Structure 1
Amino acid sequence: MNKELIINTDACYKQAEEKANHYFQSLYTQVQQKTYVKVLTEDIHLWKHNHIRHHSILSLFSRGKGKANASGYHSYIKWLNYTGKLDNYLNRSISYIFMRDLGKALNSPETESRIRNVVGSLKTHLISSATDRENDSEMFNMTALYRLAQKEGVESTFIWLINKLKNVSANIPTGMEAEHAQRKLIKIIAGVIMQEIEEMNGDVSPEERKYRLDKAIRLGFSYGLTYPFIDDLLDAKILTVEEEKQYANLIRTTLTTGIVPELGDWKGENAELIGYIHSELSEAFEYIKEHQRPETRNNFFEQSYVFFNSQEVDRKNDLAYPEYTNEELYIPVILKSASSRLIVRSVIGASEDEGFDSRTFFYGIYNQLADDFADMFDDMEEGAVTPYTYYLKYHDKRPDLINPFEMYWTVISNLIHHVYDSDQMTREVILDRAINGLKRFKERVGSGKYKEVMNLFASGNPTFNKLIQEMVRKADDVDFFDKLLRDHMITSLKNNRQGQEEFIENAKTIRSQINEVLDLTKPDKSPDSIIDAANYSLQGDGKRLRPIVTWFMGVNAYGLKSSELEPLLKSLEYMHTASLIFDDLPSQDNASLRRGRPTLHEVYNVSIAELTGLFLTQKAIWEQTTLDQFDSKVVLKLIQYSAQVTADMCRGQAMDLNSKGEQLSLDQLNNMCFYKTGLGFEASILMPAILANTSELEIEALKKFARHAGIAFQIKDDLLDVEGDTALLGKTVGKDSENNSSTFVSILGVDDAKKEMWENYCVAMESLHDVPRDTTFLKHFLDYIINRDK
């Protein structure tokens, strides 16, 4: 097999190169003869009737409201629907995806029918979504995605994917953007899923559909990893020159032999990074190889090799070298842009489709030239060679160089008339896309810079350029859903990362402030073993989650003063620490480690531990009585609630102790966990709400959130007891099994416990829709709960 692959990869690259050269020569002839000018001038004059309109005075006042905005996602969809533009917007967007990602001819009756169905379903979903949501920033969220995964029966795959994406993001080195790596991965996964769905044609059983979607998600992730961990990594100049050579040789050997070489001793400063990447890519490669059919396996290897090798050829070009031929500039671009899309189909083991292969091969360079145009200044700054950067640098010294902007329009003309047979919808979509790209570029770089660029690239065809610039200024309705989704996704990922970072940093600050006020002072200097024991327990490395939640809710949600809340914060941590002391006792869980240190009864004795726990519960109530800046009736209500919570938590612990050795039902376990854990979270959320005299409706919504957040927290604890790291947790793993305790893992197993955690996560998130105030903190808190490693 290895020898056969070596022969095939070498031969297939030469064959692909010949095909790309033939395509290039055809385009070169059209550029030289400028045939695109007349053809596209006629196309644009036909096209513009649907895009340039005379606006009334009233419509001019509303035009600004219709501007696509990543943060105003739902508002824009509602505006499109209100103005009657949503159907055309979605039709061109979905048609473009069918043409670009699925390699379809838009004049096929079957494709037209599929597009109508997708547009109809998407429109219904978007209108419903835009109507239901008041907060535009919530569109891209885990709850909606998990609910979709549930509907398809691939929840476990979704959970697997989320964990993989989290790990990839955490291992993206400085110098590469984690959000863009995630976006590319998600885009590739979506592309593979679309290909698989098209292959299924709806004629499969639910079980078969579930199996194939699961496989498509895993294959999409496996292939998608090559973008951040091969393409982007080698472009980012993070590895040393020697490391780049080593790494490229590893990839080349894998593709030419079908076997991933052992990493061995990595001689370079990025050994840890390469070790992680090698492990992930090895696993991904083996998964792809395992799911290739024998009759399509070679096609996958060949396409992958063409993609990798063309990238390497292109990457080695040096902007300082002034003598590259046009062929050397464009043929690798044709090869890498075509093969990157052809792989998506080959990775799922789809049967050969001559029409798809042909259309995709000719189409690739169109997207690549559009992307290179948009990125030319960034590429120039990084010294990357693209047709645009090379032309910018050498156009005045090399009259033989092809103007890449002319090549771009030549490719468009060729696609419309020679590849897609002058199809009207194809012309509509491609010209929409081209004008939209120029509009976005102009907006990003500014009118002055844009004019400068156009004077250079369009200087050879002033009449045609004048027409293009008229379209850029005047044409409407050329925006696309995938661009809006892309912008929104990047914004959401960045905002989520920043929000999580701010939450963690703020939590650290608040935790530090809480730690400073927790220590108990002795009434005199005489020995006091109870206070010493209490301080020992309080000085452990606790997360202080409950008082942190209370601080955020009190200060950020209800506008209470931090100084006023201090007694309440201390009270919550005293109560929680007391519960842990009791929980660790030999008569209960018999734990030897807590918060990274020996438990209290191990350091002192059982009697002192019991008395200290009782002492702290009373100290907690005493702290609540000092909330003298609030109405006394409100404080009394708070104390009554606190006493009831303490009593109920004792019931929960009793239920836990009585369940040892017994197999609880899921309902019983949920109930027990609510009493043990959920009530603590409920108290931390509701106590500031009680002090703020909030409404009963809001209280009920917060209770629902707290119940399910608490259960999610407990399930995560149960999972960490099985999968966690003692050094990170600060307590011994495996105690639940040792104590014969009923846990979500013992009842459901690891996989179903994770599903149950995500179900509670989703219900908790959904309950926040009924809270009439900013709940951003609670969302980040919930994300922290299920993503923590301790």
Structure 2
Amino acid sequence: MNRSFMNRTEHEYSRAEQSYAEAEQKAVHYFNQLHQHVTQRTYESGLIEDFRQWKGRHVSFTSRLSRWLPVKQRPSAKDYQRYIHWLHTTNKLDPYLHRSVAYIYMRDLGRALDAPQTQQRVQEVVDSLRGKLLSSATTTDAQLPEFMSMDGVYRWAQREGVEDAVIWVLDKLQQVATNIPAELNAEQAQRKLIKIIVGVVLHATEEMDDSVSQQERSHRLDEAIRLGYSYGLTYPFIDDILDSTLLSAQEKEQYSRLIRTALLTGSVPKLGDWSGSQPELIRYIHSELREAFEYIKARQRPGGGQQQFFEQAYVFFQAQDVDRTRTLDDDTYTNEELYVPVILKSACSRLVARSILNVEEDEGFDLRTFCYGIYNQLADDFADMFDDLANGAVTPYTYYLKYHGQRSDLLNPFQMYWAVIHYLLHEVYHSDEQTREVILDRAINGLKRAYERLGASRYGETMELLTAGMPSLNRVVQQMVRHAEDVDFLDKLLRDSMLVHLRQDREQQTEFRETVDTVREQINGTLPVEKREGMLPTNELLIDAVNYSLEGSGKRLRPILAWVMAVRHYGLQQEAVMPMLRSLEYMHTASLIFDDLPSQDNAPARRGRTTLHELHDSATAELSGLFLIQKSIREQASLSGFAPPIVLKLIDYSAQKAEELCTGQAMDLRARGQRLTLEQLNDICFYKTGAAFEASLVMPAMLAEAKESELAVLRAFAYHAGIAFQIKDDLLDFKGDVVQLGKPVGQDESNNSSTFVSVLGEAGARREMWNHYCCALEALRKLPVGIPFLKHLLDYIVHRER
């Protein structure tokens, strides 16, 4: 190894260790102060007085009698829509939002709540949030408010001029979701990553005022989105992986050395040959982390800013590493060893998040951030203590639960938690009334949630153990847990809703893939045209050609979509609608045969195979296409079990869609060599692609005799989904993988065809695709009953690789 490199590495390591030692000394000083408060119980009387002043807003005569009075019509907070509506009708929404937003400003932004500027911003955000929550509480999507949905996020991006960054991060999040291994909690990993992105964007937003131009605002937000993802990636792909059982002890050590080297040298080392398990996953993670690391590094101020980032990141990682390497079987850890790493990692996680944006600190920020972190961490550790204990993780709670009987010197973490709260309220936030309100709200809410989660018996046993040294304060606290009202928070509601949504979304994705695979297999088995005995040899050759075109790796999206609508949504019998499913695929395959002809697209390959005219000749291909069109009509005419007028109406509609397909192809051919407008492209696209999507949705609805209003919604969805599908095709043709696509790329360019990419550019085409994605989702919300398959079809359309 190069001697100068070794000397530089040793120098960086020495400087990083010095930074860690300084931070550790500061944490030890803070810990000693807290330790003194716990042992001398100086916090207890002060908090009892705090609760006395606090309870006036939360404990009334009615709430004391609530256990014996009839249950009010208060919906569960897990039902997002009904709960927001209930808060609004009972005039509780504004205080709910105010404490929720104030908490975020204190926790995530490190703001002092008594500052006039902070109070003004909190009220402005409350006013904005109120309208958004109330409008989204009227939609059919019960899991998340509309502004947190993918289309809601993209609409925000359009308003802020950051579409490219949001498209980029949505693609990245999709890749992360796909690559999160089974050993990790996928929903929690995704939630934490999204939370970090939102937090960094919030930081960036709060640093801008009205004097910042829209162009500069868009630039800063774009950067914040990418920085948020880049920093947030460390949670699933460093912390969670090192905490999991995915890697062996040796692999974890190798992985930790790689991370530490990057922080010390400012450069991510090559992965080399990964000899352990999961080599493909590790290569993906290494590539993503290297890209993220370089992006963050490039945006730090040269000199002091970059050095500060690396030092804080090293302290954070080292504290995490110290915390991670402890084992619950070791009964010799001191209180300092248990708490100091917790103080360091909880404080530094916020300092690093702020430093990546190069944000200037206001007066008192460092003290507030450093002292606040352990409060949040102890609250989280309390919530997770039994899961952590089962997993053998060392936290102040798990260690106390295991060794309190044999180690009288151990600090009770629950008493430490209340000592931290007292210290924050009176030493850091100077007895500010609003801060007391928010922090005590949060503390009692956490205990109420624990009571609900653990049940009365286990909660009582846990409290009996953890509150033995604080009897007077505990009586007050438990009284508040029983009787206090209006202590819940929006971020908890959204967190729970997001976890439910992510879990449900993953389950629906699995169901989507299983449905596609199962129905495709069923359809494939019924598509081949049978030969009849005594058939002319020429006819047999024609059927062979037809069946050749029907084989291959066709996606069968149209008949699959029609099956979902007919069987799953409308409850029609599968056997009864099979002729309709075949007719859709016959018509689609016929259109592909004609598209591929030398007189049209002159394509050499389709569905991973040689095109029909290349295998035989153009005449055979043309006749095969005509054969399939007639076969499609005969299939529709064979529909039984439906009223004849309905079947006739369906055949008429199908013929109309076939005419539109011909019109679209003719428009496409005539447009070659011409510079088309976006409106012309949309028209061609609808006739070529959207019409077939529409037929797949509308024909089952016609058989089910659905209302015209529902048909109109399905047509709107099909229009936008079809265009999004075509734009994705254009993007894949522009920069796709020929092996994955099963056909040549660059075909549009060689045919001199105008496409969304040639007209709008690659970035513009992606924006237009996502715009149609949003329009399609917005249409879906107008359906009386949701159809999750259609939402996941849209996700497939925009993220597919073939």
Measured against the shorter chain, the TM-score band is over 0.9
Q: Secondary structure of 1:322's match? A: coil
Residues 477-514 of structure 1, C-alpha deviation per residue, up to 9 Å, x if partnerless? 11000000111111111111111211111121111111
Select the residue among 169, 185, 189 that pairs with 1:161: 169
Check the 8 A contact 2:685/2:723 in 1, yes or no: yes
User: Post-superposition shift, 1:695?
Assistant: 2.4
Select the residue among 137, 146, 159 that pairs with 2:154: 146
Residues 584-636 of structure 1, C-alpha deviation per residue, up to 9 Å, x if partnerless? 11111111211111111122221111100000000000111111311111111
- In the alignment, is residue 17 of structure 1 matched against residue 17 of structure 2? no
User: Post-superposition shift, 1:267?
Assistant: 2.3
**Aligned equivalents of 2:562 and 2:71: distance in 1?**
44
User: Post-superposition shift, 1:445?
Assistant: 1.7
RMSD (CA atoms): 1.6
Residues 114-141 of structure 1, C-alpha deviation per residue, up to 9 Å, x if partnerless? 111111111122122224x144235242
**Aligned equivalents of 2:282 and 2:268: distance in 1?**
14
User: Post-superposition shift, 1:324?
Assistant: 0.6
Other-structure match for 2:429: 420
Other-structure match for 1:331: 340
Q: Secondary structure of 2:690's match? A: helix
- In the alignment, is residue 214 of structure 1 matched against residue 222 of structure 2? yes
Check the 8 A contact 1:722/1:734 in 2, yes or no: yes
Residues 83-128 of structure 1, C-alpha deviation per residue, up to 9 Å, x if partnerless? 0111110111011101100101111111111111111111122122
- In the alignment, is residue 760 of structure 1 matched against residue 760 of structure 2? no
- In the alignment, is residue 370 of structure 1 matched against residue 382 of structure 2? no
Check the 8 A contact 1:5/1:298 in 2, yes or no: no
The code of the aligned residue for 2:208 comes to M
Superposed, which structure 2 residues align to 1:245-394 within 5 Å? 245-294=253-302, 295-394=304-403
Superposed, which structure 2 residues align to 1:169-188 within 5 Å? 169-188=177-196
The code of the aligned residue for 1:136 comes to A
User: Post-superposition shift, 1:65?
Assistant: 2.0
Q: Secondary structure of 2:207's match? A: helix
- In the alignment, is residue 615 of structure 1 matched against residue 621 of structure 2? no
User: Post-superposition shift, 1:773?
Assistant: 2.9
Q: Cα 1:769–1:347, aligned 2, differ >3 Å: closer, same or farther?
A: same
The code of the aligned residue for 1:674 comes to F
- In the alignment, is residue 737 of structure 1 matched against residue 744 of structure 2? no
**Aligned equivalents of 2:506 and 2:748: distance in 1?**
33
Superposed, which structure 2 residues align to 1:696-715 within 5 Å? 696-715=708-727
**Aligned equivalents of 1:263 and 1:420: distance in 2?**
46
Q: Secondary structure of 1:63's match? A: coil
User: Post-superposition shift, 1:238?
Assistant: 1.1
- In the alignment, is residue 468 of structure 1 matched against residue 480 of structure 2? no
**Aligned equivalents of 2:344 and 2:256: distance in 1?**
18
Residues 297-353 of structure 1, C-alpha deviation per residue, up to 9 Å, x if partnerless? 111111101100001111111111111110000000000000001111101011244
User: Post-superposition shift, 1:462?
Assistant: 2.4
User: Post-superposition shift, 1:558?
Assistant: 2.2
User: Which deviates the most, 488-497 or 348-357?
Assistant: 348-357
User: Which deviates the most, 189-198 or 671-680?
Assistant: 189-198
User: Post-superposition shift, 1:237?
Assistant: 2.2
**Aligned equivalents of 1:248 and 1:322: distance in 2?**
25
User: Post-superposition shift, 1:723?
Assistant: 2.6
User: Which deviates the most, 264-273 or 445-454?
Assistant: 264-273
Superposed, which structure 2 residues align to 1:45-64 within 5 Å? 45-55=52-62, 61=70, 63-64=72-73
The code of the aligned residue for 1:54 comes to F
Select the residue among 546, 549, 565 that pairs with 1:553: 565
User: Which deviates the most, 17-26 or 195-204?
Assistant: 195-204
Q: Secondary structure of 2:74's match? A: helix
User: Post-superposition shift, 1:746?
Assistant: 1.2
Check the 8 A contact 2:47/2:422 in 1, yes or no: yes
Q: Cα 1:401–1:525, aligned 2, differ >3 Å: closer, same or farther?
A: farther
- In the alignment, is residue 779 of structure 1 matched against residue 786 of structure 2? no
The code of the aligned residue for 2:180 comes to I
Other-structure match for 2:33: 26
**Aligned equivalents of 2:679 and 2:11: distance in 1?**
58
User: Post-superposition shift, 1:787?
Assistant: 1.8
**Aligned equivalents of 1:138 and 1:243: distance in 2?**
39
Superposed, which structure 2 residues align to 1:77-226 within 5 Å? 77-131=84-138, 133-137=139-143, 139=145, 140-226=148-234
Gaps of 5+ in 2: 1-7
Identity of aligned pairs, percent? Answer: 58
The code of the aligned residue for 2:655 comes to A
- In the alignment, is residue 669 of structure 1 matched against residue 681 of structure 2? yes
Other-structure match for 2:5: none
Q: Secondary structure of 1:760's match? A: helix
Q: Secondary structure of 1:589's match? A: coil
Report the TM-score when normalising by structure 2.
0.96
Other-structure match for 1:639: 651
**Aligned equivalents of 2:71 and 2:629: distance in 1?**
61
Q: Cα 1:211–1:409, aligned 2, differ >3 Å: closer, same or farther?
A: same
User: Post-superposition shift, 1:378?
Assistant: 1.1
Select the residue among 513, 527, 531 that pairs with 1:522: 531
Other-structure match for 1:683: 695
Residues 658-715 of structure 1, C-alpha deviation per residue, up to 9 Å, x if partnerless? 2222221111111001110000001111111122222222222211111111001101
User: Post-superposition shift, 1:275?
Assistant: 1.2
Check the 8 A contact 1:66/1:80 in 2, yes or no: no
Gaps of 5+ in 1: none
Q: Secondary structure of 2:235's match? A: helix
**Aligned equivalents of 1:640 and 1:275: distance in 2?**
55
User: Post-superposition shift, 1:768?
Assistant: 2.1
The code of the aligned residue for 2:796 comes to Y
**Aligned equivalents of 1:428 and 1:548: distance in 2?**
55
**Aligned equivalents of 2:144 and 2:360: distance in 1?**
39
Other-structure match for 2:758: 746
**Aligned equivalents of 2:351 and 2:286: distance in 1?**
24
Check the 8 A contact 1:296/1:350 in 2, yes or no: no
**Aligned equivalents of 2:506 and 2:279: distance in 1?**
27
User: Which deviates the most, 136-145 or 322-331?
Assistant: 136-145
**Aligned equivalents of 2:578 and 2:267: distance in 1?**
61
User: Post-superposition shift, 1:443?
Assistant: 1.1
User: Which deviates the most, 3-12 or 717-726?
Assistant: 3-12
**Aligned equivalents of 2:397 and 2:347: distance in 1?**
19
Q: Secondary structure of 1:55's match? A: helix
Check the 8 A contact 1:5/1:258 in 2, yes or no: no
Report the TM-score when normalising by structure 1.
0.97
User: Which deviates the most, 103-112 or 139-148?
Assistant: 139-148
Superposed, which structure 2 residues align to 1:381-530 within 5 Å? 381-524=390-533, 526=535, 527=537, 528-530=540-542
**Aligned equivalents of 2:251 and 2:672: distance in 1?**
55
**Aligned equivalents of 1:670 and 1:508: distance in 2?**
31
How many correspondences in the alignment? 787
Other-structure match for 1:583: 595
Other-structure match for 2:77: 68
- In the alignment, is residue 238 of structure 1 matched against residue 250 of structure 2? no
User: Post-superposition shift, 1:355?
Assistant: 1.2
